[in-house]
Structures are given as structure tokens and as C-alpha cells.
Chain A
């Protein structure tokens, strides 16, 4: 609920802040960051509006437009990433119940082929006597990505905001990255993707990863298109238990939409860890161990046996 309020609030608020309308002054560009709308330019045309105090004020028209579909990010911008940010995800294993809403949302929004998933929920049991738990696994967006090291054509690349993306227009389909990834996170479009015409006709962008193309590799992309709009990735919003937390490491904050925590506190207090740390990939996804669960592991099995794929 709050997160929806935020997005609604954002589009006007950021525009207004950028206009410097605080304290009733007119169209002076404000100093601090206005979020997604920071580079809206004053059009010069003024509009009259009503303030809370009942006064009529003037605001530049440009700042009042709701944020439209953001202009498409160019390929070179997509390869560069958002400056100053370092995206990180925290997955709380004590909350995952194998509901797989994350899989559903991600599959649906990205047109992932049936049977394949970019977010995968695994039943884990590390050893005979250790606890069983459900582990949602996204792409780790490693800081030393083995997949990027081996790509011969720079079709998969690491950005300055930490996200590892795939350029489906460049990929030659050699699948070396799939062999190199120890987290088995990448999938391949073996055939032409079976997606609705509306999705297939959208212009391709590395940041949306839509539409997927036959003969190329696909994977979780941390939804940079959503982040640019000030929204959370689809899996984060979709989980009813709030298992996924997403945020900017440089701000030391992660949120699942309703709860927000200071990242360093969260990891320290709940003993967060990363997968396969010893491989030296330096993943950007942290896991909180499955302690003090509200429901047993077995409750996740019901969702498991009914669905075949």
C-alpha cells in the first residue's frame, strides 16, 4: 500500500520539488535530487494552480506532467548504468514458502518461455541433518562475474550500478556464459519465444529484456527499467511474504515495499551470507538464514507437487 502511495506521490512531488515550489516560491530549480524526474527541463509555460492555503500559484507546466513512459534508454546508456548506485538484494529465507509468486510475476512481465524461470525457487537441504528450506534464486549480479569474463562478443556486461545485463541484439548464442555460471541462473531461448503480439512488437531494450529473441540467452536483470521509474523489481513487489528486499548499497538501505531496513544492520543482525562465496564471484544477492520460521518447510511442498513445471 505504502509503496503504491509512493509511486503516486512521486510523480507530482518530484516534479514540484524540482520546480522548487516548496515554501511557495516559483519555478526555481531545487538543489537536491528529485528522483526519477531530476532532469525535467522548464518549458517556460506557466500554469495557475491552487495551493493548500487557498492561494493561486504559478508553476511551470513541464513539472506538472505525470512521468510518462520514460524515453527509451539507448544501448550505450544501458551499458553504462545508473551512476552512483550499487544495487543489492537481500532474500530472507525464513519467509519463503515456495508460493512462487515471484516466478509468476517475473515470467509474466518478461515473457519468459513456459517451463523456464529467471527466478528459481529451489528446495535446499545442504546435508543430512541440516534444515530444509526454500531458496529463491535470482541472478547474483556478481562483482566478478564469470559469465561476463567468458562472453566473446560483449553481449553480457557489467554496469557501473552493479547490474549484469544481456544485450539480445549482440548475443551469438554460444552459451559459454551458461556453462560458466555456477548458479545455473541463465536460460536459453531454444525456440522463438511464445509471447503475445503486443510484447513482441515492443522495441527491444537491454534494460527491459523484452522481447526475448530466439537463439539468445536470458536471465534476471534486477529490473533496471523499474528502478529508473522509482519502482521495485517485479519479484520484490509480488512476494506476499516480503521475502525479497531490494535497495542501493550506497544508501545502505533495502526495502521489500512495506518494510525498510538499514542494509548493514540487517546483514549483521541476521547473519546474512552469499551463495558460493568461496568461488570468488562476489555476488550482489545476500541471504538471511532460515531461522525462526513462521511455517514449516513442508508447507511449501503443496505448491510443489501440484505444478509440474
Chain B
């Protein structure tokens, strides 16, 4: 008996150990996250960071939500924390540089942004970084519809023009940027300037003829994303004609064509008028009958 117990308990122990090991082995097959950092400066005012988190599942990339990340400036010590963020249901998060990091920010012309993820039950820890040289973009327009964009980078304490940066010069539209002429991208010359002629004549604009011209740098290795806008009165004045309230066959119930309402009403009133008279007559007959 004792021997049997020993054997069985020994077997049990092995069984537990193996199953435990198997469970552990399952846990360790965690997913890997792919973190992408992007840097934006819009209208040369507020710089901000955007982070996207995705994972590869079944050969396809999928955005991952609810991932807590820590964003740092220059190095990942706590004093350099920009912000702790959590990705939204689209797998994205963003942060603005807080004033507390002013000294680190002003301290150098280029910065290294770091995003760290400590890992959770589903995913391994991950890290990503992005280095950026501070830059700004300016836009200027002339009366003969020429647009000049200049890209300047911060070197030591002064802004110097940068050559060879791809700039897109376009008109801002509802959810897109329409190039001002056939050329998609312009490159800055040695003076850091790129110019384009505005060729989109009579492009519809608002009631005052204003359109917004945009010069932007997309995903530059050194400078990240830059954008600047300017309003110019080069569009064709356009006031949308809204005939939503017109009376038509496809309008809502209250806005049927008048002729239809008249015809239908007259038929209904005419016929039902007769019917009501007939019912009244029935009551007259009834009255006569009850009196008799």
C-alpha cells in the first residue's frame, strides 16, 4: 500500500509538473508588438508625437488597442517622461511635449523620442525610438499666384535653410490635399526654398473666394512631419445651391408638390364627403324609423 501510494503520488507529481510546464509554455508564446513613432509640427507651433501600435496576426497587421506606453524625451529616465498614454481602439495615441521638459527641449537641436511598453500577458515588452532634428516650414505667396515654401532646421541657435527636402504644396480640401499643379512633390533648393505655380484655376472655394494653401513635409527622416497653412483668395467664389427644401416627389412628407396635395385632397374630400353624407342619411332614416 505504501509503495503504491508513493508510486501514484510520484506519478501525480510528474503529471502536475508536466501540465504546469505545458501551461507555462503556452504563456510564453506572447505576441510581438510593432511600435511606430511619428513627430509632427503643425503651423510651427506645437510639436507633438503620435504613436501607433500594431501586431502581426495570421500574416496580417492589426492595430492593437489598450496598450499602455511611456513616451520619453532623449532617454528613458523618469524625469524625461513626456507622457504615459494608452492606445485607443484604433491603436493610436498622441502626446504634446509638456513645459516641464523645457530645459531638455531647448538644450539641443535634435531630439530622440522613445516609446516603451513593459509587456503584459498577451504581448512581449517592446521599445521604439525616433530621432528628429527640429525644423520649421514657412510659406509665402506672391500676387501672381506663386507659392514659396521654405524649410529651416535649427542649427546651434539659428535657423538655417535645408536643401533637398521633399515638400508637397497643395490646396486643403475636405479630407485630402489637392496638388496646386501637376507636380506631386517639390524639392527645396540650396536656399531651402521650393516654389510652385498655382494652376488650379476656378477651384471652388467658400463664399469669399478663400482657399487654404498647405505646404507640408511628410515623414522626413530628419525632421518628421511639418505642415503650414495659409489662406489666399485664389478660389472661385462658390455658394452651394441648396434646393433641399424644394417640393418634389422625393422630398419628405411635408414637402410634397402642391399639385399632388391638391389632387389627393380634393379626391379624398370629395369621396369621403359623399360617404359621410350617406352615413348621415342612415341616421336620418333611423330617426324616422324610431319616431314612427
Complex contact flag A–B (Cβ < 8 Å): yes
Chain A interface residues (CB < 8 Å from chain B): 1-6, 8-9, 11-13, 16-17, 21-22, 24, 32-33, 48-52, 54, 56-57, 59, 64, 66, 79-81, 83-86, 144-145, 148-149, 154, 157-160, 227, 230-232, 247-248, 250-255, 260-262
- Does the CB pair B45–A247 fall under 8 Å? no
> Of the candidates B42, B44, B177, B240, which one forms a contact with A84 in the assembled complex, judged by CB atoms under 8 Å apart?
B240
- Does the CB pair A52–B134 fall under 8 Å? yes
With A49-B97, A52-B44, A154-B252 in contact, do A260 and B178 touch (Cβ < 8 Å)?
Answer: yes
CB distance from A252 to the nearest CB of B (A): 5
Query: Would you list which residues of chain B between 169 and 190 have a CB under 8 Å from chain A?
Result: 170-171, 173-179
- Does the CB pair A260–B46 fall under 8 Å? no
User: Which residues of the other chain, A, contact B94 by a CB distance below 8 angstroms?
Assistant: 8, 11-12, 66
- Which residue of B has the minimal Cβ distance to A80? B244
Cβ-closest 4 pairs across A and B: A255-B176, A160-B244, A54-B106, A148-B250
Bound complex: CA A253 to CA B212 (Å) = 14
Interface on chain A toward B: helix, strand, loop, or mixed SS?
mixed
CB distance from B185 to the nearest CB of A (A): 11
Chain B interface residues (CB < 8 Å from chain A): 38, 40-48, 50, 52, 88, 92, 94, 96-99, 101-102, 105-106, 134, 136, 170-171, 173-179, 200, 203-204, 206, 210, 212, 218-219, 225, 227, 229, 231, 238, 240, 242, 244, 248-253
User: Which residues of the other chain, A, contact B136 by a CB distance below 8 angstroms?
Assistant: 52
Bound complex: CA A250 to CA B46 (Å) = 32
- Does the CB pair B250–A232 fall under 8 Å? no
With A17-B43, A160-B242, A251-B173 in contact, do A5 and B219 touch (Cβ < 8 Å)?
Answer: yes
CB distance from B5 to the nearest CB of A (A): 50
User: Which residues of the other chain, A, contact B252 by a CB distance below 8 angstroms?
Assistant: 79, 154, 157
Q: Beyond A8-B92, A49-B96: 7 further Cβ-contacts under 8 Å?
A: A12-B40, A32-B231, A83-B240, A149-B250, A230-B174, A247-B175, A255-B173
Q: Identify the interface centre among B176, B204, B206: most chain A CB within 10 Å of its CB.
A: B176
Bound complex: CA A21 to CA B219 (Å) = 23
User: Which residues of the other chain, A, contact B170 by a CB distance below 8 angstroms?
Assistant: 260
With A9-B40, A56-B99 in contact, do A144 and B178 touch (Cβ < 8 Å)?
Answer: no
CB distance from B65 to the nearest CB of A (A): 13
User: Which residues of the other chain, B, contact A2 by a CB distance below 8 angstroms?
Assistant: 177, 218
- Does the CB pair A49–B173 fall under 8 Å? no
User: Which residues of the other chain, B, contact A48 by a CB distance below 8 angstroms?
Assistant: 98-99
User: Which residues of the other chain, A, contact B88 by a CB distance below 8 angstroms?
Assistant: 66
Bound complex: CA A52 to CA B224 (Å) = 13
Q: List 26 A-B contacts (CB under 8 A).
A: A1-B218, A5-B40, A6-B177, A12-B40, A16-B42, A16-B45, A21-B43, A22-B45, A49-B46, A49-B98, A50-B97, A52-B47, A52-B134, A54-B106, A84-B240, A84-B242, A144-B250, A154-B252, A159-B244, A160-B244, A247-B174, A251-B203, A252-B204, A253-B203, A260-B170, A260-B179
CB distance from B68 to the nearest CB of A (A): 16
User: Which residues of the other chain, A, contact B134 by a CB distance below 8 angstroms?
Assistant: 52
- Does the CB pair B203–A262 fall under 8 Å? yes
> Of the candidates B96, B173, B240, which one forms a contact with A86 in the assembled complex, judged by CB atoms under 8 Å apart?
B240
- Does the CB pair B212–A231 fall under 8 Å? no
Bound complex: CA A4 to CA B94 (Å) = 13
> Of the candidates A50, A157, A158, which one forms a contact with B105 in the assembled complex, judged by CB atoms under 8 Å apart?
A50
Bound complex: CA A94 to CA B266 (Å) = 54
With A145-B250, A160-B244 in contact, do A255 and B175 touch (Cβ < 8 Å)?
Answer: yes
User: Which residues of the other chain, A, contact B42 by a CB distance below 8 angstroms?
Assistant: 9, 12-13, 16
Bound complex: CA A10 to CA B40 (Å) = 11
- Does the CB pair A50–B101 fall under 8 Å? yes
Q: Identify the interface centre among A13, A33, A48, A231: most chain B CB within 10 Å of its CB.
A: A13
- Does the CB pair B105–A54 fall under 8 Å? yes
With A8-B40, A154-B253, A250-B238 in contact, do A52 and B46 touch (Cβ < 8 Å)?
Answer: yes
- Does the CB pair A21–B174 fall under 8 Å? no
Bound complex: CA A236 to CA B117 (Å) = 33
User: Which residues of the other chain, B, contact A86 by a CB distance below 8 angstroms?
Assistant: 240
User: Which residues of the other chain, B, contact A83 by a CB distance below 8 angstroms?
Assistant: 240, 242
